[in-house]
Structure 1
Amino acid sequence: MNQPDTKTISLRKPVTLKGDSVTTSSLDLREPTVDELDRASQAGETGYASNAALISFVAGVPLQVARALGKRDYEEAVKYLTGFTLDGQTTGEA
């Protein structure tokens, strides 16, 4: 686990939620807390749902923004966040 403390991802496809005038063009990520990992593991029944919740918690963006990320942006965020876990898994028990 040799991750930088923070990472900013410039989104390839900025996200604007329907009916919202704010566009999210980047995500500022940091090391997740144990509480955030635990809450994310309980947030959904799929890996995508759990990872979207973790991105939302860590980046401080609405869950709908995390769920609307393009696949490449999502994968970049997940790769960074899973780098903090021993086995690369963001959900469940170690």
Structure 2
Amino acid sequence: MEDQKIITLDNPIKVGDIEVTSLTLREPTAGELERATLKDRPISVTLDLLAMVAGVPRSIVEKLPSRKLKEASQFISGFTEDGPSTGETQ
């Protein structure tokens, strides 16, 4: 399993003064998993966790195209047996 994954966006996402052209994901920490799962809703868990591990505001992650969200979600879910999902089936 990869320790890190870079997801390049086809179109930059801009929120306020922040413009993101790629997300660099890493393995989530136990604390991040705990904070992300407090809401206990799969899509919220995924969005919160992606924002934490990529180090970007959640508002950036909320604007990800669905294909990029699925790619990112699959990467982080590989670190946990019951990892968060986007609600999509493979």
Q: TM-score, normalised by structure 2?
A: 0.85
Q: Is the 8 A contact 1:12 1:73 kept in 2?
A: no
- Say whether 1:48 aligns with 2:46: no
**C-alpha RMSD of the superposition:** 1.6
**More RCO (CA 8 Å, sep 6+):** 1
Q: How does 1:1-94 map to 2 (within 5 A)?
A: 3-17=1-15, 20-42=16-38, 44-87=39-82, 89-90=83-84
Counterpart AA for 2:3: D
Report % sequence identity.
Answer: 35
Amino acid at match of 2:51: S
What CA distance in whole angstroms lies between the structure 1 residues aligned with 2:10 and 2:35?
28
Gaps of 5+ in 1: none
Please state how far the C-alpha of 1:22 moved relative to its aligned partner. Answer: 2.7
Aligned length: 85
Q: Per-residue deviation at 1:45?
A: 4.7
Name the SS of the counterpart of 1:32 in structure 2.
coil
Q: Distance between the aligned counterparts of 2:12 and 2:41, measured in 1?
A: 24
Runs of 4 or more, structure 1, over 6 Å off, are none
TM-score (ref. length: structure 1) = 0.82
Q: Distance in 2 between matches of 1:45 and 1:13?
A: 30
